[in-house]
Structure 1
Amino acid sequence: MLRPKYFTPKEVSLHNKPDDLWVSYLGKVYDLTPLMKEFQGDVLLKPIIECAGKDISHWFDPKTKDILTHIDPQSGCLKYYTPRGRFVHVPPPCPRTDWSNDFGRPWWKDMQYEVGVLSVKTRWVRIINTLTSQEQGLEVCSEETLNEILQRYLRYNSHATSYTWKYNSVKLDMSKTLEENGIPDEGGDFYRGGMDRDLFSESICLYFNDDLTEL
């Protein structure tokens, strides 16, 4: 079974345009760009566009996974609660002949838009290439394995797979997370102590596999 792809809130926030629109809710990340194209120009997209790149979990009931509801004070009927305004696939407050309800699943229940999982907690690590002395700070998801962190690092070093990854001189298990490899997350301590995260974050050292000094 394939592992889901994890995203940081910052990564989601970068997709904040109508032609590239992501949101997160209830722990998952969704690419709603196809929905934007399908309903392009529709005023019912406005509440979604206003929340582009943000978490909209507060729109939902975590138990039902559906949009929050309330009793409409005028009709006394149960209605979707949309304080930002009605949006795509939410029925109108009163019966109308011009509203089609044959669209199947509403977008918030359609898994075709799901692209991954929102990290519960992110952390910073410093990766040091001992061959070149290059250092790179990375914000990663605490749920990611070292192999998945390596994929993030490839943009800075396309040969990262040719290195042995170590922490405190101990070779890391690339199939495990940072915590599972015994690398503590001290981000909270840095924040409370007013310490510079970039200077004191945990360091992972990369040793080139053809370096004879590492025999």
Structure 2
Amino acid sequence: MDQRYFTPAEVAEHNTAADLWVSFLGKVCDLTPLVTQHEGDALLLPIMEVAGQDISGWFDAETGDLLRYVDPKTNYYRYYTPRGRFVHVPPSGPRSDWATDVGKPWWKDDRYQVGLLSAEPRWIRVINTLTSQEQRLQVCSEETVTEILQRYLRYNSHALSYTWKHEGVNLDMSKTLYENNVFTNDTELQQLQLHPDQFPPAILLHFNDDLTKG
């Protein structure tokens, strides 16, 4: 199963020229092929400086294009590039070394998109009742429990052999945690001046051959 959603922490892991991801406007893009294609080009530098980061501030949320402003010297619209001009951004004036037909710019090219950025990453505890092993796991609130299970497989390759429960109720694997009524006790924790991430809800895994699973 292909992963649909990524946390900011997962995007941040891809922060080198050989493995470069960015996120913007809710999308996660792998720009490694772009870096390879334009290797040695100085116009890559602004992109490499933000490897693994969210760059939504560069874009107009309504149009999906780069932000623009009126150049006070020329009175023409220019792209807003706070770190300097980068790949696929045209120069401010006529240039003999600039190919006008660059095709679709990378920020509009779906080929680079690998998934979506979670609007609300959250922590959970997955507890194996058979072995008493506990794993803290950061997941995406948009994911179904089945997708969360896929994340957990790296810690327990037999996770499919368990029934997933919360507070004694079997989870619907096709629904999200919120749809399964798995909430964080934010209000109660705030009253106790405790951070919700320190006390995430627990998901209990019951081995399917366990006669006590009920």
In structure 1, the partner of 2:203 is: 204
Matches within 5 A, 1:20-99: 20-99=19-98
1:29-55 C-alpha deviation (Å, 9 max, x unpaired): 000000000001100011111111000
Counterpart CA distance in 1 for 2:197 and 2:134 is 11
1:72-91 C-alpha deviation (Å, 9 max, x unpaired): 11111111111210000101
In structure 1, the partner of 2:149 is: 150
Mapped pair 1:105 → 2:104: yes
Mapped pair 1:163 → 2:151: no
Counterpart CA distance in 2 for 1:151 and 1:78 is 47
Contact 2:44 2:86 in 1 (8 A): yes
* Uncovered stretches (5+) of structure 2, i.e. residues with no partner: none
RMSD: 1.8
Contact 2:144 2:176 in 1 (8 A): yes
In structure 2, the partner of 1:14 is: 13
Amino acid at match of 2:185: E
Amino acid at match of 1:165: W
* Uncovered stretches (5+) of structure 1, i.e. residues with no partner: none
Counterpart CA distance in 1 for 2:108 and 2:186 is 35
Q: TM-score, normalised by structure 2?
A: 0.94
SS in 2 for 1:212: coil
C-alpha displacement of 1:63: 1.1
1:126-169 C-alpha deviation (Å, 9 max, x unpaired): 11000000001111101110000000100110000000001111
Counterpart CA distance in 2 for 1:22 and 1:33 is 7
Mapped pair 1:124 → 2:123: yes
Amino acid at match of 2:54: D
Counterpart CA distance in 1 for 2:55 and 2:187 is 25
Counterpart CA distance in 1 for 2:48 and 2:213 is 53
Contact 1:179 1:185 in 2 (8 A): no
Counterpart CA distance in 2 for 1:192 and 1:15 is 37
Q: How many residues align?
A: 214
Contact 2:184 2:196 in 1 (8 A): no
Amino acid at match of 1:27: G
